Chains A and B, each alone.
Chain A
Amino acid sequence: MGLSNEQLERYSRHIILSQVGGKGQQKILNGKVLIIGTGGLGAPAAMYLAAAGVGTIGLVDYDTVDLSNLQRQIIHQTQDVGKAKIISGQETIAAMNPDVTVHTYDEMVAAANIKDIINDQDYDFIIDGTDNFPAKFLINDACVLLQKPFSHAGIIRFEGQTMTYVPGQGPCYRCVFKEPPPKDAVPTCRQAGVLGVMGGVIGTLQATEALKYILGVGELLTGYLLTYNALTMNFRKVKLPHQKDCAICGEHPTITELTDYEQPTCNLKNKKG
């Protein structure tokens, strides 16, 4: 199926790129990306992927928009406070680009549902935009077991990090960080604060990795942890070796099915993103 005249115009700045062209734009339109968490990282990632024309975008979140989210979660606007984040996100994307179909998952990822969510649309690439470590390890483990590529990222204060896992092509998150830190041992943005733009910088890098993966161009952040410090303006790529004894992607994995780590105290009545 070819591109319509409107699509040729909408995506003209992509199509003119030798690494994209009409064929590449068609790949993007056929692309399916799942974004877990529509917060500081997921919001900009979802918006840029939607603008780029990723034809199928999945949004996973169970939270509602809070006034304190708006300093960085740019997919949600003032009038969305109180609305489910996935609905707010879906509405923003619909207004941005009619080429995108959004699938929403009104739940928190857990061992019991994450494989079904990923398999629901057989997503090509997964973006981890979550805050807590049980979810980050769960996403890693699910992606390793299902052999799906994903982008990890984290932001706090003036710092961010991101890495990309592609099955068989480098280390997974667990190769670097063996297991989740104890509950409340490592501060979250809510506890420590975060400069709003950090999600924009790092979430947009995650979107970039998703597009490069779909297009099959360039070098992904596989085997590297990219760290960014906004105060010093240092971007650093730290080389990461694959761990042969990794508990999930190593030669003799000891983790062969998903389990839920202790979730942070789930105060569902007073959630603040």
Chain B
Amino acid sequence: MKVTVNGQTLELEKPVNIEELLVLAKAEQPEYVTVQKNDEFIKREDFAITTVADGDNIEFLYFMGGGAAWD
């Protein structure tokens, strides 16, 4: 099955949940990623029980600082 992660097609051998997808798709710092499935936010507590189906569009949204460094 094929899913789209951040615009890139990803081939999966078997259905996975969001938690597993974060590992498979090599998400950076998965503990802080916001995840959307088909334009809806998935709550972090639901990552393990939300499965990804063929054709799903997944977005990993990352924290990004930048700009003036006030630290």
Q: Which residues of A contact B (CB under 8 A)?
A: 37-42, 61-63, 73, 85, 108, 128-133, 135-136, 153-156, 159-161, 175-177, 181, 185-190, 194, 198-199, 202-203, 225, 227, 234, 236, 238-241, 243, 264-267, 271-273
Contact = CB atoms under 8 A, between A and B. Distances in A.
Interface residues of B, number: 22
B66 A63 contact: no
B64 A159 contact: yes
A180 to B, nearest CB: 8
A190 B71 contact: yes
A199 B67 contact: yes
A231 B7 CA distance: 15
B68 to A, nearest CB: 3
Contact of B64 (A61, A73, A161, A185): A161
B17 interface: no
B6 interface: yes
A103 B64 CA distance: 28
Nearest to A73: B68
13 contacts: A41-B68, A63-B69, A128-B67, A131-B65, A131-B71, A154-B64, A156-B66, A176-B41, A186-B32, A186-B65, A190-B69, A265-B71, A273-B68
Interface of B: 6-7, 29, 31-32, 34, 36, 39-41, 59, 61-71
A63 B70 contact: yes
Contacts of A240: 36
Contacts of B32: 181, 185-186
B66 A198 contact: yes
Contacts of B29: 185-186
